[in-house]
Amino acid sequence: MSDELKMELGRRYRFAASHRLHSEKLSEEENCRIYGKCNNPYGHGHNYTVEVRVSGPVDPATGMIANLADLDAFVNREVVEAFDHKSFNEDMAEFREQVPTTENVCIEIFRRLKAFPKARLERVRVEETSNNAFEYAGNGIQDRRAIR
């Protein structure tokens, strides 16, 4: 373990969206059994909270890992505007082929934020409700294919 003190910044964002959990690879019955109410044909929605964590050296001139205005602008453009008030299944190409579970939503958000130029993306946490949370730290994302 290095003695260096590591610093991370965490910032939370919110959006509301709808989804339906349904896999073309499964029969109607299996979809119903596996996804339950989440398989309802017309979908349903959640208020999602996204926690973004970045790390990096603290600039002595600003006291910051990354200027919040830059981080906010990037996350708002790449995630909040792209996901807010959308139907994942109908409105987003990424979820045509894969089921928009919050696991997959979390991975997609990580993929989009990885390009943030001012700090290193450490982790993305997505809370689908106050009881369900999913985290992804990007292990092997390049090789990963959607499971569902």
Partner 1 sequence: MVYLTRKIEFSASHRYHNPAFSVGENKRIFGKCNNPHGHGHNYTLEVTIAGEPDPVTGMVLDLKQLKEILEREVMQRMDHRFLNYEVAELKDQIPTCENIARVIWKLLEPKITQGRLYKVRLYESPDLFAECYRDGAAG
Give the β-pairing of 86-87 and 120-127. unpaired
Site residues for partner 1, 9-38, by CB under 8 A, read 9-13
Residues 6+ apart with CB under 8 A from 81: none
**What number of other Cβ atoms are within 10 A of residue 48's Cβ?**
23
Note whether 93 binds partner 1 by CB under 8 A: no
8 among known catalytic residues: no
Q: Which of 38, 51, 78, 135 is catalytic?
A: 38
Residues 6+ apart with CB under 8 A from 22: 31, 35, 39, 89, 99
One of 27, 28, 37, 62 touching partner 1 (CB under 8 A)? 62
Q: Which of 8, 44, 85, 97 is catalytic?
A: 85
Active site residues: 38, 85, 128
- Applying CB under 8 A, the residues found at the interface with partner 1 are 1-13, 53, 58, 60-65, 67-69, 122
